[in-house]
Amino acid sequence: MAVKEIRLLGKYIIEAEIEAQTGLHVGSSKDTMKIGDVDNPVIRDAKGIPYIPGSSLKGKMRTLMEFYHGKLKPETMVFSKEPVIRIHMCDDKDCPVCGLFGRNHGKHKFVNGNGQTKEFYNVSPTRLIVRDAKLDETSITEEMRDNMGDDYTEVKFENNLDRITSEANPRQTERVPAGAKFNVSMVVNRYAIKYDDDSVAKDDGKTYLKELLKAMQLLEDDYLGGQGSRGYGKVKFKNIKLIYKDIEAYEGTKEPKVVTYNDVVEALGKVDKDF
């Protein structure tokens, strides 16, 4: 499916807090380990402050939307990293997952077992940008610090038990504590796209903005980061600010439209009317 025309109509900018309601572990690999180091550390920025990488947030929401839209079928799944990482990818111009989260360029092998490959071209640009979410340091209170071993994190001790011998295999996992808040910023580009079989360019409208809000709601009822089945990673989006800038706003002839919502449920219920 060839694209004949793409026009940027505007940008939806979503700013929000994401609050950890249980301990949050977004892991980091370590090349070396010193005596006394935690087995499973969290990822930190250059200043040593924990953060949520945009890739982790975007990847988790993409996975949830693949399930939500029933996209996990052998004929539409490819190896992102053979043989262990499989994702949905298709060239359907109206696919809500590929349209919002994007496609990987190049040749990919399908997972249906017959070795079939397909060369994917950019049917449409990726609409979603997810930035790294920085920790709101004021959300880590002095009372919380009194009960943690670090300025920003806690260490949870766990045991894996051998089912036959009951031998314990202890380990330590570093977590950002419940109550910590991160500042999230995401952008959804709004395009008008004309394909080779279209008579006119089709406006995205609010289609992909609402898909993102659904993904945020699904994430709240799932988990972010590692060890979610053990209770880690429950999060909630709060104090959502939605800003829409069309071309006139970027030209300075019109003010951006700004609407605030308490949570994702309110945003989903009102976004059609507000925008």
Higher local confidence (pLDDT), 272 or 169? 272
SS3 content of the chain, % helix, strand, coil (to 5): 25, 35, 40
Domain ranges of the chain: 3-53+124-274
In a 10 Å sphere around its CB, with 0-12 CB exposed, 13-18 middle and 19+ buried, how is residue 146 labelled?
exposed
Digit-coded pLDDT (tens) for 28-56: 655 444 434 566 889 999 999 999 999 99
Return the structure tokens found at 20: 């950890």
Name the β-bridge partners of 261: 240
Encoded amino acid at 76, one letter: T
Beta strands in the chain (DSSP E): 3-20, 51-52, 77-81, 85-88, 106-109, 117-120, 128-130, 133-136, 154-161, 168-175, 181-195, 202-203, 235-246, 257-261
To the nearest 10 degrees (0 to 180), the angle between helices 54-68 and 207-220 is 100
Beta strands in 111-150 (DSSP E): 117-120, 128-130, 133-136
Predicted pLDDT at 40:
81
The answer to whether residue 146 scores a pLDDT higher than 90 is no
CA distance 245 to 247: 7
Residue (of 80, 57, 261) closest to 273 by Cα position? 261
Residue (of 73, 83, 70) closest to 112 by Cα position? 73
What is the mean pLDDT of the segment spanning 113-118?
66
Cα–chain center distance at 165: 41
Predicted pLDDT at 112:
67
Digit-coded pLDDT (tens) for 2-35: 788 999 999 999 999 999 999 999 986 554 444 3
CA distance 6 to 32: 47
Digit-coded pLDDT (tens) for 54-66: 999 999 999 999 9
Which of the four pLDDT bands, split at 50, 70 and 90, describes residue 251?
Answer: very high
In a 10 Å sphere around its CB, with 0-12 CB exposed, 13-18 middle and 19+ buried, how is residue 79 labelled?
middle
Predicted pLDDT at 103:
80
CA atoms within 13 A on the CB side of 115: 0
- DSSP 8-state class, residue 199: S
Write the CB contacts of 199 (distance below 8 Å, at least 6 apart in sequence).
none
